[in-house]
């Protein structure tokens, strides 16, 4: 596994921990109003994770995990990613990217881990700073 890929994995785990903590807080209040368990298991965690990631990437091109690991997300021209690129990247990562990995594990990491399938799909690159 490439060095950038290891950093990306650690950054994702940091972001997941933050999102999980916020989700637990929201769940406390939502359980009183929403009784459907599917909402609590699927919708709430996804909405919170995507909202946090979207806001952070849109504002400064880094999530809390990326900042801690010394990574930044850019588009192909070296600028901050556009809102559309961020959404495409998150949606592809959380849906079809797993299938890409299962189909062709060796090609999964391109350019030393800087471009994963969801980055290629959205036109983004992760760089070390």
| pLDDT above 90 (res 55) | yes
**Cα(46)–Cα(39) distance, integer angstroms:** 10
Give yes or no for a contact between 113 and 5, defined as CB atoms under 8 angstroms apart.
yes
- Kindly tell me the burial class for residue 105, based on how many C-beta atoms sit within 10 Å of its own C-beta (0-12, 13-18, 19 or more): exposed
- Yes or no: say if 84 and 30 are a contact pair by the CB < 8 Å rule: no
**Which among 71, 49, 50 has a CA at the least distance from the CA of 124?**
71
Q: With contact defined as beta carbons under 8 Å apart, do 46 and 16 qualify?
A: no
Q: What is the pLDDT of residues 2-48, one digit of tens each?
A: 789 899 999 999 999 999 999 999 888 888 888 888 888 888 999 99
Instruction: Locate the domains of the chain by residue range.
Output: 3-128
Reported pTM = 0.87
Residue 95 pLDDT > 70, yes or no?
Answer: yes
pLDDT of residue 86: 97
């Amino acid at each position: 596994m490439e060095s950038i890929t290891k950093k990306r994995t650690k950054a994702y785990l940091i972001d997941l921990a933050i999102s999980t903590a916020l989700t637990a807080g929201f769940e406390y209040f939502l359980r009183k109003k929403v009784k459907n368990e599917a909402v609590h298991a699927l919708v709430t965690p996804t909405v919170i994770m995507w909202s946090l990631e979207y806001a952070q990437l849109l504002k400064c091109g880094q999530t809390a995990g990326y900042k801690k690991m010394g990574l930044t997300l850019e588009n192909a021209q070296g600028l901050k990613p556009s809102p559309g690129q961020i959404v495409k990247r998150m949606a592809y990562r959380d849906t079809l990217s797993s299938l890409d990995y299962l189909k062709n594990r060796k090609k999964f990491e391109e350019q030393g881990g800087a471009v994963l399938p969801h980055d290629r799909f959205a036109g983004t690159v992760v760089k070390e700073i």
